[in-house]
Structure 1
Amino acid sequence: MTHSRPIGAIAGSDGEATQALMLAFARSLAPGVRVIGVVEVGDDLVDLSSGARYRLFQPLGSGADACSLDPAGPAQACGALLPRIEQGCDLVVLNKFGRLEAESNSGLTDAFAMAVSLNIPVLTAISSRFAAHWQAFAGPLAETLAPQAEAIAGWWGNRG
């Protein structure tokens, strides 16, 4: 049996279809598989275990041209995930490695790091816009996956 790398990174997209794909995969796992994490639903991160919602964007008002990404929401989500990851699980799903992780080493960075340090597989998405940052962050730990259910299932099935 081949062994997958500990991080499965769905390449080329971090949009709604990819988030739905990760959510569907997490829900398809056998009842005994413990999944911890968050996926993006609309303008929120939604906790897969508790259903808690964390705001991704701040209202800036009409005419604003600044980035509306709210770093507080992902930071709160990460803070909620860390103790549960540390307690143990079988899979961590993190919506994406995005701007916060790439440019400021914040967002869900600590959740990525903790899961990998505990040898827990991570499923995430990565946009081509942050591919160089992702490579510097994850390097040989990540396996690039096509945005298809079969690719995710293959990565999961070969993890061991």
Structure 2
Amino acid sequence: MLGFVTIQDHAPGAGDRLLTATAERLAAAGLRLAGAVQINTEPAPGCECDMDLRILGDDGPLVRITQSLGAGSQACRLDSEALTRAVARTESVLDRGAELLIVNKFGKQECFGRGFRDTIARALAAGIPVLVHVPDEQLPGFRDFAGDMAEHVAAERIEDWCRTQLARPAA
């Protein structure tokens, strides 16, 4: 019940757009979703894009997960406190009863045991299917986490995979 998608289109934000569109269609069909999808704001010239998370199943504001570090900075712009807030809001939605968890990315934070990693494990333990995007560079860390429990899902089959998981009887 752990599906992961890798994106062959390496254009910036391709995975984010795919999961966002999928979540929108599934929510419009009446499915109760939890999780987060990433919205990238086009940057001003000479700047990096800002990244926000939209918490699925939550009417609250977007969560900006990047921080401005000033001109010329090469450090990671991830705001770990903001990511922690996004995770807490997602877990609140899970507590209210979600049918599917969608996570924008199994990234470096998850590989290090932080971010959405525990939320993913919690959903799986509760029998809630999980769909996550895994960038190529994070595949080894994801495989360490998931073992043989994860199923690769082709990008064009994401919605079919989700609906199949939801049609299965609870374990």
**TM-score, normalising length from structure 2?**
0.81
Give the equivalent residue in structure 2 for 1:11: 6
Distance 1:37 1:98 in 2: 15
The question of whether the paired residues in 2 share the 8 Å contact of 1:97 and 1:125 is answered with yes
Match of 1:92 among 85, 101, 108: 101
Deviations 1:45-81 (A, max 9, x none): 1112225211221111001111111111211110111
CA distance 1:41–1:110, shift in 2 (3 Å): same
**Does residue 146 in structure 1 map to residue 154 in structure 2?**
yes
Distance 2:148 2:60 in 1: 32
Distance 1:11 1:123 in 2: 11
Distance 2:86 2:63 in 1: 6
Q: CA-atom RMSD, angstroms?
A: 1.8
Name stretches of at least 5 consecutive residues in structure 1 with no aligned partner: 1-5
Distance 1:83 1:51 in 2: 12
**TM-score, normalising length from structure 1?**
0.86
Give the equivalent residue in structure 2 for 1:54: 63
Moved more, 34-43 or 46-55: 46-55
The question of whether the paired residues in 1 share the 8 Å contact of 2:56 and 2:90 is answered with no
The question of whether the paired residues in 1 share the 8 Å contact of 2:3 and 2:152 is answered with yes
Give the equivalent residue in structure 1 for 2:36: 38
Give the equivalent residue in structure 2 for 1:21: 18
Name stretches of at least 5 consecutive residues in structure 2 with no aligned partner: 41-50
Match of 1:123 among 115, 131, 150: 131
C-alpha deviation, 1:83, in angstroms? 2.4
C-alpha deviation, 1:156, in angstroms? 1.9
The question of whether the paired residues in 1 share the 8 Å contact of 2:20 and 2:38 is answered with no
Aligned residue-pair number: 152
Give the equivalent residue in structure 1 for 2:162: 156
Give the equivalent residue in structure 1 for 2:43: none
